[in-house]
Structure 1
Amino acid sequence: MKVFITGTAGFIGFHLARLLLAEGHTVHGYDGLTDYYDVRLKQRRHAMLREFPAFVATEAMLEDLPALQAAVQAAQPDVIVHLAAQAGVRYSLENPAAYIDANLVGTFHLLQAAVQARPRHLLLASTSSVYGANTHMPFAEGDKADTPLTLYAATKKANEAMSHAYSHIHGLPTTVFRFFTVYGPWGRPDMALFKFTRGILDGTPIDIYNHGDMQRDFTYIDDLVRAIRLLIDAVPPAPEARTPTHGWQPVEGDTLSPAAPWRVVNIGNSQPVRLLDFVDAIEAEVGRPATRRYLPMQLGDVPATWADASLLQRLTGYRPQTPVREGVRAFVQWYRTFYSG
């Protein structure tokens, strides 16, 4: 199988590419290696992927439509997985233009390139942040997601709508997945686990918002990419193919669009963890207490996330389940090794 992945120098894209390469597939990566965080970390990820003969990388921006189209055409992919984006809920308050360029213009370009390439399946990353001010939990894919609290969430919701339109117009089988607080080795330095671990080891205070009264559905990176890998094979059928004569059987709670071969799926651990318990787990693995600085809730943040991942399980037979302490242990071990020099 030939897979084109955007964001292969990023946290999730790197892990997904490595999984697919280990399975014997061909991966063409595409990444702009922006300086949103330490570029050396991104370069190291790409260097590890280049150790696989079946990996090819194009280093260019999503906003560069000719470069993106040329890379997709060269790859001739069976599957496209779009993970590249300007990430970070809080950074969208500081630099909103970056989200318009990367997430809206960049995704538009990716959709244009996908229409030309005609893969058998297009998969796009969204986020639990699209649930915004929704307070009904656990979050289910059919819940309204019309109250985004940040521009980041709004761009991801727009990406979902854009991909549905392209799926309808061009008959492009598309799956959108919503991630829930992904963590693990090779993670982003702007994420809580990275910042907390670094702060505890350095003896500097860590910021705990809403005075610790928060919960997150922490999802371990290996579980996440395994779910994506399985969803690659769960191709949404076109509306006209949803009959027993085509071998189609309905799935309870499916989010298939009535107008397109398109669906949306949550990927989460389905076990929300108190933020203070998360900090406790990091302290236990690092072996020293944190200096905790309790602060009010940040603008655009939400007190809790919790995924209903039952559709993922019905489609793939799989659901994430790595305990937080196990995942935190793996991250702390990686962090100490990576930064030991």
Structure 2
Amino acid sequence: MKILITGVAGFIGFHLAKKMIANGHDVIGLDNINDYYDIDLKYARLKELGITRDEASFFKNISQSKDLPNFKFIRLSLEDRNNLPTLFEKEKFQIVCNLAAQAGVRYSLENPQTYIDSNIVGFANILECCRNYNINHLVYASSSSVYGLTNKIPFKETDVVNTPISLYAATKKSNELMAHTYSHLYGMRTTGLRFFTVYGPWGRPDMAMFLFTDAIINSQPINIYNHGKMERDFTYIDDIVEGLERVIEKIEFKHGPYKVYNIGNNSSIKLMDFIETLEKNLGKKSKKNLLPIQPGDVEKTWADVDNLINDFDYRPSTPVEKGIKSFVKWYKEYYNII
């Protein structure tokens, strides 16, 4: 198939592109390489895909990977409603996987307009392109944050999610509503995946795994919110990618054109246990700075993945011990730490 992956210089998009390329699909990766976090990491991911920094620096140019004949890259923003349709018209994609978004719960408290532009306007542009250019299937990233202030554990897709507590969460819920509307009105197949705390090699520097590792190695204190009374359904990147792979490559669906799935490890790990495992892998204890819970945070997440199991015969299963070990190994190699 010919697949467009947006957010390809991002954490999940990079890993998915590698998998889809290895599976023999023709992949075009799109990213605007914004500076929300270290752009050197984004360029390093693209380098792994055979795209040089110079090639990735120019907007609207399509670059052919030097190492991977079935991968091309274009630097473009989802908000660009002039050039995005041109790309769709030229390339004639069959599948679109939209992973591009302004990420981060806490950043949305300070820069709300950025989230409206990227996550609402940008997603609307993707939907319009999919409608106008007869895309077979739109797969898109949602988030566990849509569950907001729910007391029902574990989180199930049939739960009412009308109480988001961050603008980021509200934009992700909006994406689901917009996708449902397009599926209903135009018969478009859309599948949303609610990701639960994704971590692993090449991860995002703004997330706990990366922040904690960096601080511990550099003998700096780590900020632990809600005084450590937090639990998360930590999901290893390879499990996320396999879930995406199964959704993208599945030909027949039992349900109608619209569906949303949780994709998590189907368990909840105490944050303090997660930190202890990280300390063991680093061979070093952390200095802990215990703080109150932050606005936009929830105390616990836990994904019910029964629908994923029933429809795709798949359950994420990587133990957190294995995932943390893999991340620490990558981190030390990437930053040349002996």
TM-score past 0.5 threshold: yes
**Partner of residue 171, structure 1:** 187
Deviation string, structure 1 residues 316-339 (Cα, Å, up to 9, x no partner): 111100000100010010000001
1:109 to 117, 125, 129: 125
Cα distance change, pair 122–265 in 1 and its aligned pair in 2 (3 A): same
**How far is 1:189 from its partner?**
0.3
**Partner of residue 136, structure 2:** 120
**How far is 1:222 from its partner?**
0.4
Within 1, Cα distance between the matches of 2:132 and 2:261?
A: 25
User: TM-score scaled by structure 2?
Assistant: 0.93
Contact kept, 8 Å, 1:236 with 1:263, in 2: the verdict is no
Cα distance change, pair 314–22 in 1 and its aligned pair in 2 (3 A): same
**Partner of residue 284, structure 1:** 280
Q: Which amino acid aligns with 1:286?
A: L
**Partner of residue 48, structure 1:** 48
1:318 to 314, 317, 325: 314
Within 2, Cα distance between the matches of 1:75 and 1:315?
A: 30
Contact kept, 8 Å, 1:177 with 1:265, in 2: the verdict is yes
Within 2, Cα distance between the matches of 1:52 and 1:226?
A: 21
**Partner of residue 64, structure 2:** none
**Partner of residue 229, structure 1:** 245
Stretches of structure 1 lacking an aligned partner (at least 5 in a row): 238-247, 249-255
**Partner of residue 62, structure 2:** none
Alignment pair present for 1:269 and 2:285: no
1:133 to 142, 145, 149: 149
**How far is 1:236 from its partner?**
7.2
Alignment pair present for 1:33 and 2:33: yes
Deviation string, structure 1 residues 121-163 (Cα, Å, up to 9, x no partner): 1111100000000110100000000000000000010010011
Deviation string, structure 1 residues 227-256 (Cα, Å, up to 9, x no partner): 01101134675xxxxxxxxxx5xxxxxxx5
Alignment pair present for 1:59 and 2:79: no
Within 2, Cα distance between the matches of 1:211 and 1:75?
A: 51
Within 1, Cα distance between the matches of 2:97 and 2:79?
A: 17
Contact kept, 8 Å, 1:236 with 1:261, in 2: the verdict is no
Stretches of structure 2 lacking an aligned partner (at least 5 in a row): 51-66
Contact kept, 8 Å, 1:121 with 1:235, in 2: the verdict is no
**How far is 1:48 from its partner?**
1.4
Contact kept, 8 Å, 1:236 with 1:262, in 2: the verdict is no
**Partner of residue 213, structure 1:** 229
User: 2:82 aligns to what SS in structure 1?
Assistant: helix
**How far is 1:279 from its partner?**
0.3
Contact kept, 8 Å, 1:182 with 1:224, in 2: the verdict is yes
2:212 to 174, 193, 196: 196
Within 2, Cα distance between the matches of 1:179 and 1:209?
A: 21
**Partner of residue 300, structure 1:** 296
The CA RMSD measured in Å over matched residues stands at 1.2
Question: Number of paired residues?
Answer: 321
Alignment pair present for 1:91 and 2:107: yes
Alignment pair present for 1:144 and 2:140: no
**How far is 1:208 from its partner?**
0.4
User: TM-score scaled by structure 1?
Assistant: 0.92
Percent of residue pairs identical: 49
Contact kept, 8 Å, 1:127 with 1:156, in 2: the verdict is yes
**Partner of residue 8, structure 2:** 8
Q: Which amino acid aligns with 1:294?
A: L
**How far is 1:72 from its partner?**
2.2
**Partner of residue 253, structure 1:** none
**How far is 1:117 from its partner?**
2.0
User: 2:261 aligns to what SS in structure 1?
Assistant: strand
Within 1, Cα distance between the matches of 2:133 and 2:164?
A: 32
**How far is 1:74 from its partner?**
2.5
**How far is 1:53 from its partner?**
1.4
User: 1:178 aligns to what SS in structure 2?
Assistant: strand
